[in-house]
Each structure stands twice: as C-alpha cells, then as structure tokens.
Amino acid sequence: DAKTTQPTSMDCAEGRAANLPCNHSTISGNEYVYWYRQIHSQGPQYIIHGLKNNETNEMASLIITEDRKSSTLILPHATLRDTAVYYCIVRVRNGVYKLSFGAGTTVTVRA
Amino acid sequence: DAGVIQSPRHEVTEMGQEVTLRCKPISGHDYLFWYRQTMMRGLELLIYFNNNVPIDDSGMPEDRFSAKMPNASFSTLKIQPSEPRDSAVYFCASSSRTSGSTDTQYFGPGTRLTVL
C-alpha cells in the first residue's frame, strides 16, 4: 500500500470547516483513499473513501486531486465532538486486508 | 445493530497470568480482525480471520499470543503467560466483502489490558 503523509496536528474553530490534507504521491491506479478517525478512548471509525472522484456523505467530503497524489478531508461544520485523530490510508479495495494506520493528524476543535 | 462487542472493557492482571479477550463481530460480517494499540507502536494488526479461518497471523508478536474463532459470532484472543509489555488497548473489528460493501472495518470499543 502507498505511504501517506499527514500533518501532525491542527486546530479548528467550532462551526468552521476543517480541511485535513493528506499526501500520497506514490498511489497506484487501483488504490483507494480511506479516512478513519479515532476519538479518544474509542475504536477507529470509518469516515469516507474514494478512488478519483470527489465523495460526500453525512460525515464529510473527500476531495482528491486530479493526479491523485493528494487529497483533503473536509468536515464542513466542525463540532467539539469532531476532536480526534484522523487517519488517511491508501489501499487496494478488496485487496490485502491490512489497514496500515500511521500517526494520523490530531485535530482539536476549539469553542 | 449493536456493533462489534468486546469484553471485558478493562482487564488488570498480574504478570504470568492467562488473559482472554472476547469479541462478537457484527452479524453477517465474514472478516474479523484483532488489533493492538500502544503509544510506542500505534495501531497494529495482529491477526485476521475470514469465514472463521485465520488468514494472516504475521502480526502476532510471539507464541504467547493465540486467537481462535470457533464460529461466526465469537472470537477470542488469549495471552499466556502475560507480561507487562503486553499492556495495551486491544481492538476487534469486523467487515464484510459481499457485493456492494464498502470494504470498511467496524471497530469495537476495545479492551484496555494492564499487566502488572
């Protein structure tokens, strides 16, 4: 699976959009971008995934650049409950089943 | 759906004792995973099963660790004998690769293990 690079931490104001970047310059054509988050003392939670088109669900939006070498997870209206570690993972869908969690980005939403 | 259920939520034991962690996956899911999370090493995959059969146990740290899945609704992770360095949060996750699935993993709340 391709390696990803994320900022270590970022702050966001409550009610504002949070934009979380992820670089995956060695991504292969059949690899998807997955985002998970882990709220303190809880198990990781799936957020969204995509291949090349932008995706949106009830939790977030995922914007993937045209060359697919980077992506941005957008939390449209961050709340205090969105404070968590966010993991960007690149892997082949339905491929080898190892989810490689890196260090992620610690997002702190402030009131 | 109740989600992935793990028990116990917290376990404190003494070095040398046997520890058994339990997991009930989401009904209908055909994959089950065991992860371990520590500050030093982050989240690591220990082993995963498909249709109750162990597929990849390369992440199991040593012979003191063993995992079983006797049926589709239950799995155990056993440590015997336990050591202080086994102290961690152990997560169980399940997934489904049936047609139309998102191929995502759903995690349980974890078991926090402390070995004194």
- Inter-chain contact B43–A94, Cβ cutoff 8 Å? no
Chain B residues with CB under 8 Å of A30 CB are none
Non-local (6+) Cβ contacts of A56 within 8 A are: A48, A62
pLDDT band at residue B100, thresholds of 50, 70 and 90? low
Report the gap between the CA of A17 and the closest CA in chain B (Å). Answer: 25
pLDDT per residue of chain A (111 residues) written in tens, 0 to 9: 668 999 999 999 999 999 999 999 999 888 889 999 999 989 999 999 999 989 999 999 999 999 999 999 999 999 999 999 999 998 876 666 667 888 899 999 999
Residue B86 has pLDDT above 90, yes or no: yes
Q: How far is CA B88 from CA A46, B9, B38, in A?
A: 22, 12, 5
Report the gap between the CA of A44 and the closest CA in chain B (Å). Answer: 6
- Inter-chain contact A101–B43, Cβ cutoff 8 Å? yes
Chain B residues with CB under 8 Å of A102 CB are 42
SS3 A78: coil
Amino acid symbol at A52:
K
Q: How far is CA A17 from CA A73, A74, A102, B48, in A?
A: 10, 7, 24, 36
Q: Kindly provide the b/e burial profile for residues B31-63, where b requires at least 16 CB atoms within 10 angstroms of the residue's own CB.
A: bbbbbbbeeeebbbbbbbbeeeeeebeebbeee
Query: How many CB atoms lie under 10 A from the CB of residue A50?
Result: 18
Non-local (6+) Cβ contacts of A60 within 8 A are: A35, A47, A48, A73, A74, A75, A76
Instruction: Provide the pLDDT for residue A95.
Output: 62
- Inter-chain contact A93–B103, Cβ cutoff 8 Å? yes
Determine the Cα–Cα distance for residues A55 and B50; give it in Å rounded to an integer: 29
Q: Are A104 and A6 in contact (CB under 8 A)?
A: yes
Arithmetic mean of pLDDT, B25-42: 93
Chain A residues with CB under 8 Å of B93 CB are 43-44
- DSSP character for B9? S
Residue A55 tokens, joined: 């995706």
Query: How many CB atoms lie under 10 A from the CB of residue A52?
Result: 14
C-alpha closest to that of B3 among B113, B112, B111, B105: B105
